[in-house]
Every structure is written in C-alpha cells, then in structure tokens.
Structure 1
Amino acid sequence: MDTFLLLSALILISGVMAAKFSNRFGLPSLVMFILVGMMLGSDGLGFINFDNPYTAQLIGIFALIIILFEGGLQTKFSTVRSVALPSLSLATAGVLITSGIVGVGTYLLFDITWLQALLLGAIVGSTDAAAVFAALKERNIKAKMGATLEAESGTNDPMAVFLTISFIELILTPDASIIGLIPSFFWQMGAGLVIGLVLGKVASFAINRIKLESSGLYPIFSVAFALLTYGTASIIDSSGFLAVYVAALVIGNSELVYRYSIFQFNEGFAWMAQILMFIILGLLVFPADLFTADVMIGGLILSAILIFVARPAAVWLSTIGMGYKMNEKLFVSWAGLRGAVPIVLATFPIVAGVEDSEFFFNVVFFIVLTSALVQGTTINLLAEKLKLMGPKKDTPHHSIELISMGKANAEMMQFKVDSDAAIVGTKLKDLNFPNKANISAIVRDENLITPYGETEIKSGDFLYILVATKYEKELKKVLEQKQKRTKEEA
C-alpha cells in the first residue's frame, strides 16, 4: 500500500510537470504523459510493471467519460448549433471513409485478412476528444473551427466503437452479417442522444433544487450524473460516450447554482483523468515491442495514409455543400488528432482474443504518437498560415474566487464588457441593475479597481457582480444589451 501511494504521487507529479513542459516545448500534453508512462514502465526505469489490458481499458473508459463531460460543460449551444450538421457528418460518414481508406492501406501493407485490416482502420477512424480538447484549449482558433472539431470529437466515438466491435464479432463469428449489425448503430446513436438529453435535464433540475450542506458536494453530484448517464446508456446497448457529451452540453448551458465550483472541479478532475489515462496507456506499451522495424515502418506508412489521404478525403466528402472554405477544410483535416480513443479501442481485440491483436495495438500506438507529434505541434502554425486565428482569449490577471451562496440564494457573477456593450461609458450610479445586484469589483488592465458611484465602465473591464439568484436572468438581459448603431455606422 505504501509503495502504491508513493507511485501514485510520482505519477501525478510527473504528469503535472509534463503538462508544464509540454507548453514550453510546443508538444501536445498527451505525448509527454505517454512518455512518462513508458519511462516509468518495465522497459524504462522499471518502477512499474503493468501489462493488464483489462485494467487499462477500464481506466481509459472512465477517464474518457470525465474528459467528455468536462468538454461538454465548456461548450456553448449557440456555437455547436451552427456546426451541428457538418460535425455529425464528420462523426459518421467521415469516420466510415477514414476507416475504409486506412483499412485498404493496412491490407496492402500487411499479410492479414480483409476483416483484420478493416478492424485496424476502424480503431484509428475517429478523432479523440481528449487530444482535441487539450490541443484547442487556450488557443485562439476561430470559433467555427474549434466548435467543428470539438463537436466532431465529442460525437464520433459511437461510430468507431460500433465498427470496432462489429469487425471483432465478424472475425470471431464467421456466420455473422454486417448488414444485421447496422440497426444496432442507429439504436446506439438514437438512444444515446435521448438518454443524454433526458438525464442532462434531470441533472440540471436536481443540482438547482437540492439543498446540500456543503458546496463541495455539488461538483461530486454532477460527476455522479455523468457516470449515471454512461451506465444507463451502456446497459441498454446504446452509446454511453454520446450520452455523456450530450448531457454535459445540456447541463453546461443551463442556469446552475455553484456553477463556478462545478466547472472548476470538473476541469481539474479532467486533467487528472487525462494524466492517469495516458500514463497508464504508456505503461501498457513496451518500447522493445513498439520500436521494431515492422511496427515503425508500417506505422509511419499508415500514419501518412491517415494524415494525408484518409482524413482529407473524409473531410472533403463529408462537408460538401456545407459552406466550408478551402482553408477551413485544410485546417479541419490537419487538426483531426488521434489520441486515447484509438489506444483504448486497440485493447478491445486483445481482450476478445483476436489473432495478431498485440501487433495491432503497437501499430495503433505508433500511429497515435505520430499524429500527436506531427499534427499536434503544428496546429497553431497552420491556423496562422491559413488565417484562421481568432481574437485573443481574454482572462483577468487578478483571481477573484467566484462563489455561490446556496442558503443565501445569491451568486457572484463574472462578466466581460465587450466594446459594443450598452453599458460602456456608463457610471455605476446610472446603471439600471436590479435592486439585488451590486458590482463588487472591477478588473481593468491587470489592475483591481474598487468600484464606487462615479466609476465609469470601460470596454474590456471584468465585472464581478453579487446578485440574488432570482434576479440573475434580469441582470443578464441588462448586461447583454448592445449599443444602438447610427445610420452612418450601419
């Protein structure tokens, strides 16, 4: 037990330091986490001898639930709605096209059956939510591009899981028919969507209605609903991952008490899940088996097919007539990162006992590393070259702890004043705020300002407003009003 606790501490500390240095060196954090796992494993420093695909699969699925949930919480409905059709097309037809092209390349490259080749194509067919969310976070990519990639990665797992499980079944049960498995896919997508919507509404209602003694219980309550959503969907053989992402979208776009606490807890929990997942997956692979001629040469060729042929073909064909420009399609093609999902899916054939599955696992692992290193390190550079960088993400340099006082029925809100906001230039004493709303602090140009009646609101200010919960919607209407434009400006 003492050794286990010590190693757990070392893993988490190593993961946090890896995240720190990944930004400094321009490497995706998942690469650093995987390298830490490989270094700690039996082929590295020998601290941990781990070779259990069952445990890795369990940890991977749990971590993906947490990561998808946090990503969904942070996503705005208004942004997703505008890219819903292309994202859904990429998540279904795009995965199918990618899997098919990579499957053909795998069949031509290795001495295996068609079903085995298509199985490997299915495993690497989907982009990865953990990798995409981490790569786009804090980067100033245009909202449309970020929303497309995040919505795709949050919803394309059902197709990849369906294809992977279907090909495993076809390999192990020769009498099975692919046509007979198609209704299962529509059930997984449809039921997963409905369960996510229903439990997302239930969770939002429950969080707001329940009166807990400690504010620290609300974030745990939200995570419990994420696990409940996945479990409920999985029990009826629908897509748990899709259900979790949809439920998180509903919860994140609802009015919540203790919103800041819930979001902050889930962000930290998602980081911990990501660290543990990638380090565990790094422990599962043995460098002596990974860095062999067959795996490296085959992995590099398949990576090239995936990055330069399969993914671009999938994006171009899946977004025909959907208003995407050439530079936008190029960026979406390049930013389709592979990560934890393909590695976790690569454990499915091992657990099922498919022939040559350990070799497939190593090839998939190598493809993921290549994708992360080649694509992940160049996302910002490509976005700049294609002129797809958005406005800089503004965050206040001063930290004010946002709080919800459930028993007092009050909230501390943070609001950034845009240049076209109607309140710009207005003195605090002239604001038409509800009676139970007061500005407690203003952060302006890295300075903390104590507000008083004559203080004038300026563009770029961060306002921290204490408001009674029942007046929150009324306050938001005032804050979100825009300046009236003159005829000359129009």
Structure 2
Amino acid sequence: MFFEAFGTDSFLLLTALLLFSGVFVAKFSSRWGIPALILFILIGMLFGSEGLGIVYFNDASTAQLIGVFALVIILFEGGLHTKWATVKSVALPSLSLATLGVLLTSMIAGFSVYFLFELSLLESLLFGAIVGSTDAAAVFAALKERNIKAKMGATLEAESGTNDPMAVFLTLSFIELITSPDTSLWMLIPRFFFQMGLGLVFGFVLGKLASVSINKIKLDSSALYPIFSVAFALATYSITAFSGGSGFLGVYVAALVIGNSELTYRYSIFQFNEGFAWMAQILMFVILGLFVFPSELFTAPIMINGLLLSAVLILIARPAAVFLSLLGMNYSNKEKLFISWAGLRGAVPIVLATFPIVEGLENSQSLFNLVFFVVLTSALVQGSTISYVAKKMTLVGPKKDVPHHSIELISMGKAKAEMIQYQTNAESAVVGKKLHEVSFPNRANISAIIRDNEVITPYGETEIHAGDFLYILVEEKYKAQLKRTLEERVKKSKEKQKEKQKQDAVN
C-alpha cells in the first residue's frame, strides 16, 4: 500500500498532487464542456490501483464518511448563496419535486430494474431509491455562472438542496426491509415526517443561533468567522442526526437562514465556504474514483445494463416524476422538460451506494458499480448539455455578471466597518447620477467602482452606470440604514417608472 511504503511525506505529496490536479481540471472543465465531477473521478481512477497503481483503496466505510462530510460542506455553501426572495416563489414546486418527485423517480426506476433484471423487488427498489434524487454538488456546479432563467435555476437548486433527505430515507428504509423482513412498511411513513420535521426545526433554530452568534461574538481575527460558520454547519448536521432528524435538510435550512441574514464579515464567510466547498468536491469525487475499480465497472454487463437504466432514468422516470410533481403549477411543458433534463445525478447516489456495501448486502458491489456507471452517464450526457438545451428551449436568462475581482477589508476583530458590495441595474435610482449628487447615509463612502472588470477610482464627478459594482465602506451601525436607502431608491425608481408609464398611456 502506498501510505505504508512511503509514509507521511509521500502522503502529503500525494494530497498536493490530487489538489493540483483537481484545481486544473476545474479550470478547464467548462472550456472542455465536461462536468468537473467526471474529471475529478477520472483523477481518482488514474491514481488508483488499476491506473498508475499509487493508491489501493477499498474501504467503503471511509468513503462513506468522507462523502457525507463533503456533502455537508457543499450543501452549506449552496444554501448560503441561495436568495430566499428567489426560492420563496418556487418553494412549493421545489418541495413537491424533492419529495413526491424523488419517490416517483425511485419507484419507476426500481420497478424497471425488477422487470429487466434478475433482482428481488426490494433490491430493485433499493437501486431506485439510491438514484432517485438529483445531486446538490452536480447541480450547483452546473448552474453556477450559467445564464439559465432565474425561475429554472431557483427551482433546480432548491430541489437539489432539499431532496437528499428523501433519498437517504428511502435507501435506509429499503436496507432495513431487506435485512429485517419483520419491519413494517407502514411504520416507516411516520418516521419520514418525523425526520423532515426535526430537520426543518433544528435547521431554522441553529441557523438563527449561528447568525446571532456570528454578529455578537468578538473574535481576535476576521479569519476565525468563516471557521466558526463551518463549525455550525457540522454541528447542525450532527445534532439533527443524533436527534433522529434529517441532518442534510437541517444543514441546508440553517445555511439558508444564515445566508439571508445580516452578517458581519459576510464576504469572508462566503469566500471561505466557496473555496472549502470546492475542496470538498475534489476530495469526495477523487475518493469515489479511487474506490471504484475500472475492470469491474467497464464490463459488458455493467455498461449495457447501465446504459439501459440511464435511458430509463433520464427519458422516462425523471420526466414522468417532474410532470406529475408539477401538475397544476405555473410551469410550461417546455420548462418541465428542461427541469427533467437538468436533474443531474452525482455524488449522493454514489455515496448512498456504499450503504449496502457497509451493511454487507448480497449483490451490493454489483449494485454500486451499476449506480456508478449511471451517474457517469447522467453527468456526462446531461451535465455537458444544460446550456445547449436551455438555449434551444429559449430558457436563457440575462447573462450572469459575476465580478472576477475582490476587495478585501483586513480586520483584527476591533474594526467597526465593513465593505458592502452593491450592483446597480437599469432601475436603480443612482444610475446616471454623479457621486456628489447621491446622498448616502452618514459614514458611508464609495471606495471603488468595478465597471467591465476594470477598477475605477471614484471622485465627485464620477457618474454611476447600470451594472456597476459599488464597493461601499460603511460603519457597522449604519449598514442597515445603507441597505434600506439602497432598497428605497430602487423602489422609488420603480414607482417613478410606473408613474411615467401611466402618464404615457394617458397621453
């Protein structure tokens, strides 16, 4: 084994090589049109015993532990960046997709396996449960910086952030039914609602506690605040899971609460968690790549059966579940088809596929290989074509204007100022005005303007344009006032626009 032969120094070198490889493939994945998770998995296979032969890894328990840890970090980061104002409008359809949608997908996929292959009904339904949910890591990565319409992006992100608990519940329930035949199926139903209820309650309460704690505690270094937030994420999962609730749901809800609260050191917390989530993705997919053996995966039976099941999942199970889950809701057939196509499978099914191996179930290794191949197919076929399909269906929104720059405010915990980033738009009342004409709250100053990825040094005669990123330095006690001022200005601008439209109609 590599670690035993070369020791600690070589282990650290290997870790560095894996991270270097992950960073470089993440940089080029969008350019190549290949989802990053595919490339991360290939790196794991390359370093594995049947690749370069550097690492031999077949510990399902460790793979499961690393996978769960990484998923907590990824869900937390995704929840932090989710705007409640956007999600609120799609909460009902997303919840329907995350529960009824996962159940229907699992049942259709499971019964397909039962009729196509020589597996028992419970084993077939277990497969369906494992591949039933979309994957937060895959969906967040696929939609990031892509100009999909806001409604579609919000629906998919909210669904993928909240559907893991349903998949975990179904997977563990079918494992329990297989290992303990005396278990009553009807007794499992109230357990589901109990787990979801605890996940919501603990997530909301611990999210509020985290927000208050981050704002109230005075740490000696601003670098400690992001670590403090991660500690809350891990604690939320653990406390919720220990109490019998859904830890994944608890983490996502807590992150949603934290991300939509007024936070001190917000920029540092968000940036740290984004980087940490990338590291978690690299680690998780590389480990999962190490865990699979290509000689067992790329065999004729696995590939033929995997392609057949992928087709059933992508073309039948997922669309049927989406159309039924969104029945009577304000989604066109075109939008439902896109949501069906964008339901990517990723790390969650692979991690869930380790559960039967850990439990020692019969056919568990074959089941794992089949799930792994289905995930690879889904990520490669669907993940690489999301932008193309959205364009063909005319579901492309305005281009996401993500600033490729950063302005850091260094603090030692005693400063009482914060840098606020605000992007103007065509409706902003400040657009078209010169800086000396804008009345900002006391002790609030524009420190820099980013326009077309160029830094503009502001002075009194500088005119504000639509799309400008304003970096405003403001004392903490005036931050809420500044936010109200900016929002009021947008509101007034909209009111003026409505008045102008009414006047034009009269004329």
TM-score (norm 1): 0.98
Preserved contact between residue 432 and residue 478 of structure 1 (Cα < 8 Å):
no
Are 2:187 and 1:180 aligned? Answer: yes
Could you tell me which amino acid in structure 2 is paired with residue 273 of structure 1?
A
Q: Residue in 1 aligned with 2:207?
A: 200
Q: Residue in 1 aligned with 2:4?
A: none
Write the distance in 2 (CA, Å) between the matches of 1:307 and 1:437: 52
1:21-50, CA deviations, whole angstroms, 9 ceiling, x for partnerless residues? Answer: 212210000000001111110011101100
C-alpha displacement at 1:166, in angstroms? 0.6
Are 2:321 and 1:314 aligned? Answer: yes
Alignment equivalent of 1:249, drawn from 256, 259, 265:
256
Alignment equivalent of 2:155, drawn from 148, 157, 167:
148
Could you tell me which amino acid in structure 1 is paired with residue 355 of structure 2?
F
Q: Residue in 2 aligned with 1:447?
A: 454
Say which is worse superposed, 273-282 or 10-19, in terms of deviation. 10-19
Alignment equivalent of 2:111, drawn from 104, 111, 119:
104
1:371-410, CA deviations, whole angstroms, 9 ceiling, x for partnerless residues? Answer: 0011001000000001111111113455422556742211
**Compared with structure 1, are the counterparts of its residues 164 and 403 closer, same or farther at alpha carbon in structure 2 (3 Å cutoff)?**
same
Write the distance in 2 (CA, Å) between the matches of 1:408 and 1:77: 29
Could you tell me which amino acid in structure 2 is paired with residue 161 of structure 1?
V
Q: Residue in 2 aligned with 1:32?
A: 39
Could you tell me which amino acid in structure 2 is paired with residue 39 of structure 1?
L
Write the distance in 2 (CA, Å) between the matches of 1:443 and 1:78: 25
SS at match of 1:407: coil
Q: Residue in 2 aligned with 1:428?
A: 435
Write the distance in 2 (CA, Å) between the matches of 1:223 and 1:259: 13
Are 2:142 and 1:135 aligned? Answer: yes
Preserved contact between residue 398 and residue 447 of structure 1 (Cα < 8 Å):
no
C-alpha displacement at 1:446, in angstroms? 3.5
Are 2:253 and 1:216 aligned? Answer: no
Are 2:71 and 1:64 aligned? Answer: yes
Q: Residue in 1 aligned with 2:344?
A: 337
Write the distance in 2 (CA, Å) between the matches of 1:184 and 1:237: 9
Q: Residue in 2 aligned with 1:86?
A: 93
1:59-87, CA deviations, whole angstroms, 9 ceiling, x for partnerless residues? Answer: 00000000000000000000110000000
1:178-197, CA deviations, whole angstroms, 9 ceiling, x for partnerless residues? Answer: 11111110011000000000
TM alignment of 1:16-55, pairs within 5 A: 16-55=23-62
TM alignment of 1:401-420, pairs within 5 A: 401-402=408-409, 406-420=413-427
**Compared with structure 1, are the counterparts of its residues 403 and 328 closer, same or farther at alpha carbon in structure 2 (3 Å cutoff)?**
farther
**Compared with structure 1, are the counterparts of its residues 7 and 489 closer, same or farther at alpha carbon in structure 2 (3 Å cutoff)?**
farther
C-alpha displacement at 1:447, in angstroms? 3.1
SS at match of 2:472: strand
Preserved contact between residue 220 and residue 412 of structure 2 (Cα < 8 Å):
no
Alignment equivalent of 2:172, drawn from 153, 165, 185:
165
Write the distance in 1 (CA, Å) between the matches of 2:380 and 2:478: 49
Q: Residue in 2 aligned with 1:377?
A: 384
C-alpha displacement at 1:488, in angstroms? 4.0
Q: Residue in 2 aligned with 1:277?
A: 284
SS at match of 2:288: helix
1:329-379, CA deviations, whole angstroms, 9 ceiling, x for partnerless residues? Answer: 010000000000000000000001111000000000000000001100100
Write the distance in 2 (CA, Å) between the matches of 1:73 and 1:446: 25
**Compared with structure 1, are the counterparts of its residues 430 and 371 closer, same or farther at alpha carbon in structure 2 (3 Å cutoff)?**
same
SS at match of 1:443: strand
Are 2:485 and 1:474 aligned? Answer: no
Write the distance in 1 (CA, Å) between the matches of 2:43 and 2:428: 47
1:233-277, CA deviations, whole angstroms, 9 ceiling, x for partnerless residues? Answer: 100111000000000000000000100000000000000000000
C-alpha displacement at 1:322, in angstroms? 0.8
Preserved contact between residue 403 and residue 412 of structure 1 (Cα < 8 Å):
no
Preserved contact between residue 444 and residue 474 of structure 2 (Cα < 8 Å):
yes
Could you tell me which amino acid in structure 1 is paired with residue 397 of structure 2?
G
Alignment equivalent of 1:365, drawn from 359, 369, 372:
372
SS at match of 1:415: strand
Write the distance in 1 (CA, Å) between the matches of 2:350 and 2:281: 13
**What fraction of aligned residue pairs are identical, expressed as a percent?**
70
Write the distance in 2 (CA, Å) between the matches of 1:440 and 1:381: 39
Alignment equivalent of 2:312, drawn from 296, 305, 310:
305
Write the distance in 2 (CA, Å) between the matches of 1:370 and 1:444: 41
Q: Residue in 2 aligned with 1:463?
A: 470
Write the distance in 2 (CA, Å) between the matches of 1:145 and 1:400: 31
Write the distance in 1 (CA, Å) between the matches of 2:27 and 2:448: 31
Say which is worse superposed, 453-462 or 78-87, in terms of deviation. 453-462
1:270-329, CA deviations, whole angstroms, 9 ceiling, x for partnerless residues? Answer: 000000000000000000000111111111111000000000000000001110011110
Q: Residue in 2 aligned with 1:323?
A: 330
SS at match of 1:372: helix
Write the distance in 2 (CA, Å) between the matches of 1:349 and 1:445: 52
Preserved contact between residue 98 and residue 160 of structure 2 (Cα < 8 Å):
yes
RMSD value, Cα: 1.2
**Compared with structure 1, are the counterparts of its residues 83 and 224 closer, same or farther at alpha carbon in structure 2 (3 Å cutoff)?**
same
C-alpha displacement at 1:430, in angstroms? 2.1
C-alpha displacement at 1:18, in angstroms? 1.5
Write the distance in 2 (CA, Å) between the matches of 1:488 and 1:342: 57
Write the distance in 2 (CA, Å) between the matches of 1:357 and 1:132: 27
**Compared with structure 1, are the counterparts of its residues 368 and 397 closer, same or farther at alpha carbon in structure 2 (3 Å cutoff)?**
closer
Could you tell me which amino acid in structure 1 is paired with residue 482 of structure 2?
L
Q: Residue in 2 aligned with 1:4?
A: 11
Q: Residue in 2 aligned with 1:400?
A: 407
Write the distance in 2 (CA, Å) between the matches of 1:273 and 1:98: 28
Structure 1 stretches lacking a partner, 5+ long: none
Q: Residue in 1 aligned with 2:3?
A: none
Q: Residue in 1 aligned with 2:265?
A: 258
Could you tell me which amino acid in structure 2 is paired with residue 195 of structure 1?
F
Q: Residue in 2 aligned with 1:352?
A: 359
Write the distance in 2 (CA, Å) between the matches of 1:144 and 1:111: 42
Could you tell me which amino acid in structure 2 is paired with residue 120 of structure 1?
F
Are 2:129 and 1:122 aligned? Answer: yes
Are 2:300 and 1:293 aligned? Answer: yes
Q: How many equivalent pairs are there? A: 490
Q: Residue in 2 aligned with 1:230?
A: 237
Structure 2 stretches lacking a partner, 5+ long: 1-7
